[in-house]
C-alpha cells in the first residue's frame, strides 16, 4: 500500500538521487526511488558516459542497489525528471523492472519538476510482457 507518507519519502529519495546524476552529455538529470518488498527505498541516478551507449538509467542504478541489498522483489518505482513532461521509464528499464515485480500491481509514479504526478501499473506500460515465469 503506497501511503502518502511513503510516496513523499520516495520523492525525497528520488530528488536527492537526481542531484547526484551524472549527465554531462544530455544534461537531462533523472532520479529514481525503488520501493522494495521489504519496505526499504533504493535510490538511483542516471550515469552517462563519453561512449554514449554505455550510460545507465536511474532505474537501473536503483535496481542494482536493491539487489545488492539482497532484495529481489519491488512494489513501486518513482522517477523524477526535468521539464514539464512527466518522465516515463524507457523501454529497456520497463523490462528491467519487470524482472523483479508483479506487473499487475507494481506502480510506476512519474513526477515532473513542478511536482505534478502521473501513475501507471507496469502492465499498462509494458503489456503482455516476457518475464522469468516464461522460462522453463
What does the binding site for ligand THU look like in residue numbers (CB under 6 A)? 23, 26, 28, 30, 46, 48, 55, 57-59, 87, 89-90, 93
Q: In angstroms, give the least distance from the CB of 105 to ligand THU.
A: 20
33, 35, 48, 50, 63 from 78: Cα distances, Å:
5, 8, 20, 27, 12
Name the residue nearer to ligand THU (CB basis): 35 or 134. 35
Q: Find the catalytic residue in 9, 19, 48, 59.
A: 59
Q: Which is nearer to ligand THU, 69 or 90 (CB)?
A: 90
What are the helix and strand counts (H, E) for the chain? 4, 5
**Smallest distance, ligand THU to C-beta of residue 38, A:** 24
Taking CA 89 as the corner, what is the angle to CA 15 and CA 97, rounded to the nearest 5 degrees?
100
Q: Is residue 16 within a helix (H) or strand (E), and if so which, with residue range? A: helix 4-19
**54 catalytic per annotation:** no
- Dist CA 92 CA 68 (whole Å): 20
d(CA 110, CA 67): 22
Nearer to ligand THU, 38 or 83 (CB): 83
Shortest distance, CB of residue 63 to ligand THU, whole angstroms? Answer: 12
- For residue 23, the minimal CB distance to ligand THU (Å) is 5
Q: Give whichever of 58 and 71 is closer to ligand THU, judged by the CB atom.
A: 58
26, 34 Cβ separation under 8 angstroms = no
Just list the catalytic residues: 59
Amino acid at each position: 500500500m503506497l501511503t502518502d507518507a511513503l510516496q513523499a519519502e520516495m520523492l525525497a529519495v528520488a530528488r536527492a538521487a537526481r542531484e547526484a546524476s551524472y549527465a554531462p552529455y544530455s544534461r537531462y538529470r533523472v532520479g529514481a526511488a525503488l520501493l522494495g518488498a521489504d519496505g526499504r527505498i533504493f535510490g538511483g541516478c542516471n550515469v552517462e558516459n563519453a561512449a554514449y551507449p554505455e550510460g545507465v538509467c536511474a532505474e537501473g542504478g536503483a535496481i542494482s542497489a536493491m539487489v545488492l541489498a539482497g532484495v529481489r522483489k519491488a512494489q513501486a518505482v518513482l522517477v523524477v525528471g526535468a521539464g514539464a513532461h512527466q518522465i516515463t521509464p524507457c523501454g529497456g528499464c520497463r523490462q528491467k523492472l519487470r524482472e523483479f515485480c508483479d506487473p499487475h500491481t507494481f506502480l510506476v509514479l512519474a513526477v515532473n519538476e513542478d511536482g505534478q504526478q502521473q501513475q501507471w501499473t507496469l502492465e499498462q506500460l509494458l503489456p503482455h510482457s516476457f518475464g522469468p515465469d516464461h522460462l522453463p
